[in-house]
Structure 1
Amino acid sequence: MASIWLDRKKAFTSDPFEAGTTYDTVVAGAGLTGLVTALLLARAGQKVLVVEARYPGAVTTGNTTAKVSLLQGTFLSRLARQYSPQQVQAYVDGNREGQAWLLRYLDEQGVAYQRRDAYTYATSAQGTEKLREEASASTTAGLDVEYVRDAGLPFAVHGAVRLADQAQIHPMQVLDALTADIRSRGGAVVGGVRLRDVTGSSPSAVKTDKGTVRADRVVLATGIPVLDRGLYFAKLQPSRSYAAAVELPEGQEPPPGMYISVEQPTHSLRDVETDGRRLLLVGGHGHHVGRTASEKAHLDGLLDWTRQHFPGAVTTHTWSAQDYLPTNLMPFFGKLPRGRGHIYFGTGYNKWGMTNAVAASLDIAADILGGNLPWAQTIHRRVTSPAGALSAVALNAGVAAKLATGWGPLAAEGLATEGGKVLKRDKERPSATPLADPVPAEGTGAVYRDGTRPVAVSTVDGTTCRLSAVCTHLGGILHWNDSERSWDCPLHGSRFSSDGTLLEGPATRNLPQAGKD
């Protein structure tokens, strides 16, 4: 399930990793946040190292819908319900500066992008109320939006909010340009190296799975911080959503703008040109990571909606992506609490990372280099609203419930489960006696109890793997993802391949084989 952006022949070539070397700044994560931050610091003459567990764009940036828009669904009206006009304005100002910096940079580098009008649309009378609220919040924040009846879609809508002259990009072409630019300024971008910990005062010991380097400062650009010092895993909801690229029948063209629906499940649309073809990219149908009976059902729902609204569409690519949604809505970036003033981070972009990532990078680099961005200082001074506090309570109550329901049945008696359903109950066996190892069918996985241990077993491409079913982050019981064929943690969104290799999330270690944890 490679995204249309990652489906390409060009392979990443890593710089060498040299343990024992000292840098001005080490950046963990080679998505948009990490590479923009690294470039800004390299431009200022810093010696910079970027370490990436896999390769640039492997996680969120390479799986995004890649809209560079200041109209972001109904997000501004949601912000306005919780924050003062000054805070909402600061958010827009930061996104505006992030958008301007990125498009200016692409112009300088000769990287292609497309200008498109952005639309938030409603397909119901109830949805139009949300549209008008969003139009009001956007206008108050200085965005030149208009309410329109016709959004240029091939199906009926009740109305839309339009913001002209936004942009869409090919995210991997952007990362390619940033990587080359960083290297041209003496920086290094290394793949296959995972950050494990940061210890000591400046210069800190930056510990990775390939050895230790030292740095005056460290930037965590890992989607969600992989150091738990700020407890951001308790302030963020990990969300998985789905996307597909489809080819329309001959003579049909994708709609002319970029779109996102008010109604749930969300439907996001844009066009993309590849190999001389203009395809339609459709996204949405998100859910909390690890908390659904079937991920495949969400993807199937998206594809069914696409076929219904674009008859004859032929699917060329399907994929999914992970985002982190802050309980208080506003993104987090800047200095990491309890990071002794030399660890920085960015997270919680609410699925609008193309502008928020660059805004976070601009603030982090300004702080490191002695600058000051007024909009960023306003965001840093925010106070969590009662609604945001209640969202955090609800999120973490759900985490506690998952801990209880995850361990409870397994500890009580021998159970095998798949997609949350009991597959096998063995009351004849003593509680300490292991069950016979199940061998799941191809492409499936199950969690069962072996003595006192939850065990995750799956069969993928003919190979059956038996692993600890306990997430290496904070001990959540893992859930089999039937779409990605991965083990997903319902607590804080860590994900592992069928053989236990860590894919993403706040965890920093692979799953051990069953019985070796």
Structure 2
Amino acid sequence: MESVWFATHPSSRSTDVFEDGSHADTVVAGAGLTGLATAVLLARAGYQVVVLEARTVGAVTTGRTTGKLSLLQGLTLSGILSHQSAEVARAYVEGNREGQAFLVRLMDDRGVPYERRRAVTYATTEDGLRKLRAEQEASRTAGLAAEWTDTTDLPFPVLGALTLPDQVQLHPLRVLDMLQAELIAHGGAVVEGVRVTAADSSTPVQITTTAGRMTADRVVLATGTPILDRGAYFAKLIPHRSYATTFRVPGSPASIPQGMYLSADQPTRSLRTVAVDGDELLMVGGNGHLTGRSSDTSGAVADLEAWTQEHFPGAERVHAWSAQDYRSVNRVPFVGLMPRGGGHIYVATGYDKWGMTNAIAAALHLAEEILGGSMPWADTLRHRVTRPAAVMSAVSANASVAVEATKDWMQAEMGSLPDAAPAEGAGAVGRGHHGLPEGVSTVDGVTCRVSAVCTHAGGVLGWNDAEKSWDCPLHGSRFAADGTILEGPAVADLKRHD
């Protein structure tokens, strides 16, 4: 599954190489929007910065987003206020506002195109309307001037909608190209195909990678979810996968809604336009679920297509892909120093599918903390108090993880693997030759047999038939059919049993 961004704008590969035994002022793990923006800010200040990317620039989350740079974020603010104070909600909005303004200024200065659009959160049911009214009140409390309307340009009736004008939609890979060029111009480096697997708390930090070792005065973990277990972030984050598609819609461009839309109802529906080769496509996303806990991921894509064809007759699907993001249990991203990191390891995670604004806000926050200075909104977020609702969210999430782990181990130990190779695109988990869970799949005519136990915390993996991957239902690690690690807190591949 390839995103429209990679299909229309393949990123140029970095030519920088890893130097075993070298030292840098700062090593950033992860070349997505957070990692590259943070690296640029530090390099501008004169720091020697090396970005280490396990795969390729933007390969994980940034290159798979919907590309909405918006302050109106569905039901986010009412969710924050159910877990945090009004002061924290206002700080969250202010950080996102500053992040949005920073990125827009940079795109203007560097000639990177983007489009201004109004953002709209809409409701089609009474339950959705109730949630939308709560979000309207939360927006007032948080200082976001969203307006109420009863009309939209959607091809179906709505009961109400919140709107915010002058928001931005963009092509995320063009933004990453811009940031990478900016970093290199300031003496930084981006090394692809090198995964950080460990970092200690010494001075300087000793960093272990798949290509060797190096040292740094500090490390920034911009890997979606932290790859180090200090601070137990894996237990404070809830991994979600969601799906996106693009369609060629018959008729004039006016037949496609021009705003950036998101439903308050479930299952979520996200819409925007995408310009491709002089044509305008409709992007439709949604159908999110907890990672590794859906038995029919390809059905999520099929459902998006059916919904689109119902409301946009004759729509022809062009692209389909999915992405992963993490919600923090207290609804606000974790940004700053990592516990037990010796004061030299920083982290940014928990954007809850709003990474375009939150990534830049996190980069500004991290740069302020590293370089010194004071931003009131960052100080508020850094010193927020954990409330009972956040504690209960963490308890609930981890109880769910425990139940899932027990259930999956029992099922894997009771069932045996099929004698014949799975059909093309299929995978199965069962008791292996040594009594432990194993997985077998067939992709592109190649059958692979691997350990079905996640290398992070021992969860039993499930087969993702949409993306042909092994996904962990505990903390969201994902592996290719041959066992190669794709993303998540895990840093080691699965053992092969071919």
TM-score by length of 2: 0.97
Counterparts of 1:455 and 1:125, CA distance in 2? 46
> Aligned partners of 1:466, 1:21: CA distance in 2, in Å?
38
C-alpha deviation, 1:200, in angstroms:
4.3
Match of residue 164 from structure 1:
165
CA distance in 1, matches of 2:392, 2:439: 34
Q: Identify if the C-alpha distance between structure 1 residues 215 and 161 changes in structure 2 by more than 3 Å, giving closer, same or farther.
A: same
The answer to whether the Cα contact below 8 Å between 2:201 and 2:340 also exists between their aligned partners in 1 is no
Cα distance, 1:297 vs structure 2: 1.1
Q: 1:495 corresponds to which residue? A: 478
Relative to structure 2, which stretch is displaced further, 478-487 or 398-407? 398-407
Residues 390-401 of structure 1: matches in 2 within 5 Å? 390-401=392-403
SS in 2 for 1:372: coil
Residue 9 of structure 1 deviates from its aligned partner by: 4.4
Structure 2 Cα separation of the partners of residues 255 and 409 of structure 1: 46
Which residues of 2 match residues 274-289 of structure 1 at below 5 A?
Answer: 274-289=276-291
Match 1:323 to one of 325, 329, 354:
325
More displaced 10-residue stretch of structure 1: 372-381 or 159-168: 372-381
Distance 2:54 2:420 in 1: 32
Report the secondary structure of 1:5's partner residue: helix
Q: Is the 8 A contact 2:62 2:172 kept in 1?
A: yes
Residue 98 of structure 1 aligns with an amino acid whose one-letter code is G
Indicate if the aligned counterparts of 1:3 and 1:63 stay in contact, CA closer than 8 A.
yes
Mapping 1:68-217, distance limit 5 Å: 68-217=69-218
Q: Per-residue deviation at 1:137?
A: 1.5
- 1:81 to partner: Cα distance: 2.2
The aligned counterpart of 2:62 is 61
Cα deviations across residues 304-326 of structure 1 (Å, max 9, x unaligned)?
11111111111110000001011
Distance 1:414 1:127, change over 3 A: closer
Q: How much has 1:13 moved relative to structure 2?
A: 2.7
Equivalent pair of 2:218/2:344 in contact (CA under 8 Å): yes
How far 1:172 sits from its partner (Å)? 0.1
Q: 1: CA distance between counterparts of 2:469 and 2:430?
A: 16
Aligned to 2:352: 350
Matched, 1:462 2:445: yes
Query: Shift in Å at residue 10 of structure 1?
Result: 4.5
Secondary structure, in 3 states, of the residue corresponding to 2:416? strand
Q: Residue 11 of structure 2 contacts residue 177 of structure 2 at CA under 8 Å; is this kept in 1?
A: no
Deviation at 1:441, TM superposition (A): 1.0
Counterpart-to-counterpart distance in 2, 1:223 and 1:262: 25
* 2:427 alignment partner in structure 1: 445
CA distance, structure 2, for counterparts of residue 286 and residue 477 of structure 1: 21
Matches within 5 A, 1:340-419: 340-411=342-413, 413-416=414-417
Contact 1:438 1:457 in 2 (8 A): no
Counterpart contact for 1:25–1:219, Cα < 8 Å: yes
- The answer (yes or no) to whether the contact 2:438–2:451 under 8 Å persists in 1 is yes
Aligned to 2:309: 307
1:387 Cα deviation (Å)? Answer: 2.0
Q: 1:459 to 1:150 in 2, by over 3 A?
A: same
Report the Cα distance in structure 2 between the residues aligned to 1:16 and 1:464, rounded to whole angstroms. 33
Following the alignment from structure 1 to structure 2, what is the Cα–Cα distance between the partners of residues 314 and 363? 42
Q: Quick check: 1:227–1:506 contact (8 Å CA) kept in 2?
A: yes
- Residue correspondences, number: 495
Contact 1:363–1:372 (CA under 8 A) maintained in structure 2: no
- Structure 2 gap ranges (5+): none
CA distance in 2, matches of 1:189, 1:52: 7
1:108 & 1:372 partners in 2: Cα distance?
A: 25
Offset of residue 501 of structure 1: 0.9
Residue 271 of structure 1 and its aligned partner are, at CA, apart by 0.6
User: Are positions 1:291 and 2:293 aligned together?
Assistant: yes
Q: Please tell me whether the aligned partners of residues 123 and 159 of structure 1 are also in contact (alpha carbons under 8 angstroms).
A: yes
Q: Work out whether residues 409 and 415 of structure 1, in 8 Å CA contact, stay in contact via their aligned partners in 2.
A: no
CA–CA separation in structure 2 for the residues paired with 1:74 and 1:448: 40
Alignment pair present for 1:510 and 2:493: yes
Cα pair distance change 1:255/1:19, threshold 3 Å = same
Name the SS for the 2:82 alignment partner: helix
Q: Match of 2:230, SS?
A: helix
Alignment partners' CA distance in 1, 2:111 and 2:60: 25
The yes-or-no answer on 1:475 pairing with 2:475 is no
Name the counterpart of 1:6. 6
Q: Name the CA shift for 1:252/1:83 in 2 (closer, same or farther; >3 Å).
A: same
> Aligned-residue CA RMSD in angstroms?
1.3
* Contact kept? 2:84, 2:330, Cα under 8 Å: no
Q: Secondary structure at the match of 2:106?
A: helix
Say yes or no: does 1:16 pair with 2:17.
yes
Unaligned ranges ≥5, structure 1: 417-423, 425-436
Q: Deviation above 6 Å: which 4+ runs of structure 1?
A: none
User: CA contact under 8 A between 1:52 and 1:192: conserved in structure 2?
Assistant: yes
Any idea what the Cα deviations from partners look like across 1:187-232, whole Å, max 9, x if unmatched?
Answer: 0001000001002422111110001111000000000000000111
Question: What residue is the counterpart of 1:26 in the other structure?
Answer: 27
Corresponding residue SS for 2:362:
helix
